[in-house]
Chain A
């Protein structure tokens, strides 16, 4: 069953073959059968493979549960990779166990280059542009092997990267000087680059550029991808302000700047539409924006919690409820941040 289902999902991810609902129900049945704690939880809710007909009815699991229990269809000790959520050292981290990376890799292959506009589409096939020159503002996966993001960057560079692609984060520090040096050379040689980094790293890099009064105009067709929170070491910027900096400091048209939204608990990623902050989820990972009180999907323009059903999460839990709030748009959704943590309230409130 496992290999058949795995193949069907691969076909769906890569070639849109098969019916999503059918696959989702099969995945749920598989997870229900193999993850005892999930099975017990679903039974409490009286939601079982026997009585569920639509993928939207499949019980979602909070990202909080990933912090507490190993949620996988195989013995966790046999995992090939264990990705962990970031956070402070004393925080309990959420973990995602992977037995193999086939679906994870497929999800990257089916979305990354396409969403960064690096794929040419013909009527019959998609053709990757020439190998790209990646400049990456994060540590390597070898350095931080618990990061799903760094794994993705590693795979992307392996599959699509030019030999001169490089990482610029060493010894807990972003090597801005070297990055500037290399970008100046790229500019001089008029070689388009693909810049990848966390929003945090971009804020740091722009601080450096400002400090040294440097402005760059990257070669035409260059791309940039940012991901993650917007809190920099020295300041916090809004997404709009950050994108303005992409334009003013790097000379990038906003159409060439992309935002990625992913998380450890998921195996697939969402990307923003060009020049918007609206994220689109891939066809194998539909999103629902759900009102936390009514637990119903919100209407366009309303805010709710983001919930996914990720087929590529086949060996974990596919229905994942996040703590992120988003506005539902006609096309995609717009993240507005984490749902505020409910604070401890006794006979006291915050002094104002």
Chain B
């Protein structure tokens, strides 16, 4: 583990180095794979690899239920963070790792793999990269895998589920991470320009496409800036400058049309502010649908389709973790709704099942939210995820 930590830390150090050839190539050629602009992708590299230090990596330990197992990782990701995490975790497992990378996002994965080969060939040897073009071969590998870790949209999980038939079951543990969402909360003592500047980084860094990107910002009334003023200041004083430094990348199909429709809708609900590549809106009433772990039962039924004897194995096989939620309905790049609240308790049911909550204000305010989220952190650090397994 010591050797791994130092090798991985070395790789991280090189990826943080602006002169590093792998990093430079990734910024030049792979940013578009994630619909990110080059400056945003560069910032992403800084944040992702900032945590790849020997000290941090040594703290990571491989969970018992996947130890010594041949693992297939399905890395479907709209941010490079997920792919990097897949490599890091895979390297620590010390077992053969088959990494299925998205067909349209092969460039970054290939460069990261090459950097492993270059700086830590002993770790690179664990990996096999595949974009899954040969579907039959891929499913054969799934059949043989001892553990399948899938990061994917609900359709990903559904596709895997569809593949299974009574005579064609995966023997593996199946760990599914579905779609996840995050939100930001500004308590009244922190409703100021400084907080909004930090929020801008959380919003702009991955064009709000990451699981940890805040989809909506709730602002407590009674602070230096009212919730409506927060939205206005964010749009007029904060975003124009920061968005100039971190321009938005491209748009996926349908996003431009949806942004237009949602801007109009937001204009009817309250105030809407638009910039070259961003939208901020404020509505005086809560418009979020209640969060729900919509596909949790689906996921559970995926494992329940497996033979009972397998489900009941002592190694706790077929662990199903789902973060899938259908909240909020608006999930567009650089589209930030601000919503007011007076009593934080009304947010609790709305924020149930979020993967992450960013907050600004006194720590005690956020304590009740520990129950409803997996992670909470300061606004400004939402995208700076610590290494976890």
Which A residues have a C-beta under 8 Å from some C-beta of B?
Answer: 37-38, 40-41, 44-45, 60-65, 68-69, 292-293, 295, 305, 321, 323, 325, 339-352
If A344-B179, A347-B210, A349-B102 touch, does A64 touch B264 (CB 8 Å cutoff)?
Answer: yes
**B209 to chain A: which residues have CB within 8 Å?**
345-346
Q: Is B6 an interface residue (CB 8 A)?
A: no
Partner of B155, one of A45, A321, A351: A351
If A41-B268, A64-B264 touch, does A346 touch B76 (CB 8 Å cutoff)?
Answer: no
If A345-B78, A349-B153 touch, does A44 touch B211 (CB 8 Å cutoff)?
Answer: no
Q: Is B93 an interface residue (CB 8 A)?
A: no
Partner of B260, one of A69, A321, A325, A344: A321
In the bound complex, how far is the Cα of B79 from the Cα of A339, in angstroms? 24
In the bound complex, how far is the Cα of B262 from the Cα of A63, in angstroms? 10
Quick check: B155 and A339 within 8 Å, CB to CB?
no
In the bound complex, how far is the Cα of B151 from the Cα of A350, in angstroms? 10
Quick check: B252 and A347 within 8 Å, CB to CB?
no
Report the minimal beta-carbon distance from B103 to chain A, rounded to whole angstroms: 5
Partner of A347, one of B78, B160, B332: B78
A-B contact pairs, 23 of them (CB 8 A): A41-B267, A44-B272, A61-B268, A62-B261, A65-B268, A292-B259, A293-B256, A339-B254, A339-B257, A340-B254, A341-B258, A342-B252, A342-B255, A342-B332, A343-B153, A346-B153, A346-B180, A346-B209, A347-B81, A349-B152, A351-B150, A351-B153, A352-B132
In the bound complex, how far is the Cα of B259 from the Cα of A65, in angstroms? 14
Report the minimal beta-carbon distance from A161 to chain B, rounded to whole angstroms: 38
Report the minimal beta-carbon distance from A57 to chain B, rounded to whole angstroms: 15
- Beta-carbon nearest neighbor of B272 in chain A: A44
Quick check: B155 and A305 within 8 Å, CB to CB?
no
Quick check: B254 and A346 within 8 Å, CB to CB?
no
**A346 to chain B: which residues have CB within 8 Å?**
78, 153, 179-181, 209-211, 213, 331, 355
- Please encode chain B, from 66 to 80, with 1 for each CB lying within 8 Å of some chain A CB and 0 for all others: 000000001011110
Q: Is B156 an interface residue (CB 8 A)?
A: yes
Given contacts A37-B268, A65-B268, A342-B259, 8 further A-B contacts (CB under 8 A): A60-B264, A62-B261, A305-B260, A342-B255, A343-B252, A346-B213, A349-B78, A351-B153
Partner of A292, one of B77, B103, B132, B260: B260
In the bound complex, how far is the Cα of B81 from the Cα of A63, in angstroms? 37
Residue of B105, B150, B152, B326 with most partner-chain A CB within 10 A:
B152
Residue of B74, B79, B160 with most partner-chain A CB within 10 A:
B79
- Beta-carbon nearest neighbor of A304 in chain B: B257
Of residues 245 through 299 on chain B, the ones whose CB sits less than 8 Å from some CB of chain A are 251-262, 264-265, 267-269, 271-272
Quick check: B267 and A351 within 8 Å, CB to CB?
no
Q: Is B178 an interface residue (CB 8 A)?
A: yes
- Beta-carbon nearest neighbor of A346 in chain B: B211
Quick check: B156 and A351 within 8 Å, CB to CB?
yes
Report the minimal beta-carbon distance from B300 to chain A, rounded to whole angstroms: 19
Quick check: A61 and B272 within 8 Å, CB to CB?
no
Q: Is B10 an interface residue (CB 8 A)?
A: no
Quick check: B264 and A61 within 8 Å, CB to CB?
yes
In the bound complex, how far is the Cα of B355 from the Cα of A65, in angstroms? 30
Of residues 175 through 221 on chain B, the ones whose CB sits less than 8 Å from some CB of chain A are 177-181, 209-213
Quick check: B152 and A348 within 8 Å, CB to CB?
yes
Shortest Cβ-Cβ A-B pairs, 5 listed: A351-B156, A340-B254, A342-B258, A292-B256, A339-B257
Report the minimal beta-carbon distance from A246 to chain B, rounded to whole angstroms: 31
If A44-B271, A44-B272, A292-B257 touch, does A348 touch B264 (CB 8 Å cutoff)?
Answer: no
**B260 to chain A: which residues have CB within 8 Å?**
62, 292, 295, 305, 321
**B253 to chain A: which residues have CB within 8 Å?**
340, 342
Q: Is B346 an interface residue (CB 8 A)?
A: no
Partner of A348, one of B132, B153, B258: B153
Report the minimal beta-carbon distance from A340 to chain B, rounded to whole angstroms: 4
Of residues 282 through 326 on chain B, the ones whose CB sits less than 8 Å from some CB of chain A are 326
Quick check: A305 and B152 within 8 Å, CB to CB?
no
Report the minimal beta-carbon distance from B323 to chain A, rounded to whole angstroms: 8
**A41 to chain B: which residues have CB within 8 Å?**
264, 267-268
In the bound complex, how far is the Cα of B268 from the Cα of A40, in angstroms? 7
Q: Is B64 an interface residue (CB 8 A)?
A: no
Q: Is B2 an interface residue (CB 8 A)?
A: no
Quick check: A323 and B257 within 8 Å, CB to CB?
yes
- Beta-carbon nearest neighbor of B150 in chain A: A351
Quick check: A341 and B254 within 8 Å, CB to CB?
yes
If A64-B261, A293-B256, A351-B152 touch, does A344 touch B331 (CB 8 Å cutoff)?
Answer: yes
Quick check: A348 and B267 within 8 Å, CB to CB?
no
Report the minimal beta-carbon distance from B325 to chain A, rounded to whole angstroms: 9
Report the minimal beta-carbon distance from A46 to chain B, rounded to whole angstroms: 12
**A292 to chain B: which residues have CB within 8 Å?**
256-257, 259-260
In the bound complex, how far is the Cα of B209 from the Cα of A62, in angstroms? 24
Quick check: A352 and B179 within 8 Å, CB to CB?
no
**B254 to chain A: which residues have CB within 8 Å?**
339-343
Report the minimal beta-carbon distance from B50 to chain A, rounded to whole angstroms: 18
Quick check: B76 and A351 within 8 Å, CB to CB?
yes
Q: Is B159 an interface residue (CB 8 A)?
A: yes
Q: Is B348 an interface residue (CB 8 A)?
A: no
Partner of B78, one of A60, A62, A348: A348
Quick check: B211 and A347 within 8 Å, CB to CB?
yes
In the bound complex, how far is the Cα of B100 from the Cα of A228, in angstroms? 40
Q: Is B350 an interface residue (CB 8 A)?
A: no
Quick check: A345 and B252 within 8 Å, CB to CB?
yes
Q: Is B82 an interface residue (CB 8 A)?
A: yes
Quick check: A321 and B264 within 8 Å, CB to CB?
yes
**A348 to chain B: which residues have CB within 8 Å?**
76-78, 82, 151-153, 156, 177-179, 211
If A346-B179, A347-B77, A348-B156 touch, does A68 touch B257 (CB 8 Å cutoff)?
Answer: no
If A62-B265, A352-B132 touch, does A342 touch B78 (CB 8 Å cutoff)?
Answer: no
**A343 to chain B: which residues have CB within 8 Å?**
153, 252, 254, 331
In the bound complex, how far is the Cα of B82 from the Cα of A42, in angstroms? 43
Of residues 323 through 343 on chain B, the ones whose CB sits less than 8 Å from some CB of chain A are 326, 331-332
**B179 to chain A: which residues have CB within 8 Å?**
344-346, 348
If A349-B78, A352-B103 touch, does A342 touch B331 (CB 8 Å cutoff)?
Answer: yes
Quick check: A293 and B251 within 8 Å, CB to CB?
yes
Report the minimal beta-carbon distance from A67 to chain B, rounded to whole angstroms: 9
Report the minimal beta-carbon distance from A341 to chain B, rounded to whole angstroms: 6
**A351 to chain B: which residues have CB within 8 Å?**
74, 76, 150, 152-153, 155-156, 159-160
**B267 to chain A: which residues have CB within 8 Å?**
41, 44-45
Report the minimal beta-carbon distance from A68 to chain B, rounded to whole angstroms: 7
